[in-house]
Structures are given as C-alpha cells and as structure tokens.
Chains A and B, each alone.
Chain A
C-alpha cells in the first residue's frame, strides 16, 4: 500500500483544455513536491511546498499552476499545454522538506497532450 496516491493515473487532454492533477499523502509529512519525467531525461523538479508554502519554483512555465491547500494535498492545475508537456508527473512527500529528507513518491500521472 502506497503512502502517496495520485489521480488520475492517465490523462489525455487537448491543448485548449484545463485539467488538474491531484496528489494525496498519508504519511503525515510536511513537504510535497511535483516532478516531471520525460522520456530519456532525468526527473526534473517543478515545485516544492513546505508547510503549505511554496519554497522553490524552478522556472516552470505559467501554464502549470500548483496549489497546496494543506500538508496532505497537492494539486497541479494545467491549462493551454503543449505537446512537449506530455510526460509522467510524479508527486512526492517528505518529513520536513529538508534537503536531506527521504522523499516518497506516488505512482504518477501519465499525461498526453494532443
């Protein structure tokens, strides 16, 4: 049983659609992360939240908008995406958000942008 869940597991959307990815962690952690995994590229950190406040934003395009309403839930709102945004989006959580914490990952959402 995983401590981090993500929905939906698969999503197909057009470039004009608006959709949201959801992540929930059941580990009692205080930090949550969004990563993007594209084919043949290393995982890229997109956003970090610690105690519901955004700590880092690694120059992600504004068509990706994160939301963290509480320490257990994290959303990624998507709008006017491009085909190159097709990827596996992984959510993770860690105890305190310290750089040395172990991060625990969810199963990911496979996104296809047509």
Chain B
C-alpha cells in the first residue's frame, strides 16, 4: 500500500467552478500535511500546509483534514485557467523526517 494516494485524474472543471482534490494516507500517526502545485516543466510550489483537523482557508484555497479518516483535501473556489496544473499532496509522518508525496492529480480548468 502506498503511503500517500491521489487520484491521478485528469480532473476537468469549468472556469468559476469548485475543484476538489483528494488525498489519503496510510500512516495514522502523520502530523503534517502539505499541498503543492506543479506547473508543467516547473518545480513544485507550496500552496498550503495543514496540521489540525478541520478546514484551513487561504484565499480561494481551502485545505481540509480528517485524521480519523486519514484524508486530506484541497478545494479551489472560482477556478481559473491559471490553476491548471498538477497538485501534489505531501505527508510528513514524523517531524523532521522526509515527506511522502502522492503521484499528483492533474487539473485542467476549462475557460
């Protein structure tokens, strides 16, 4: 079983819609969770981190964490064509250690 799993997509949403990206992880004691965006040919850039159960909002982005279900998601409101990218979920099982990355979900926002 992979440590972090994501639906590879591709996920297509119309401009202005809400894009929902999901991620599950296997290590129940994981403490830190991160969402990165990677444009084609570029390196990942941090979108958000989340550490506690519940929702965390930053502009059009909302991260949701449910540790009991071992599930973390990213919602993108009012999706824009510029949001078209691959979104990587990363989990840090133990503070100070390496991240486990999912394979990423490819999102296309259709104008």
The yes or no verdict on A and B being binding partners is: no
Binding site for A on B (CB under 8 A): none
Binding site for B on A (CB under 8 A): none
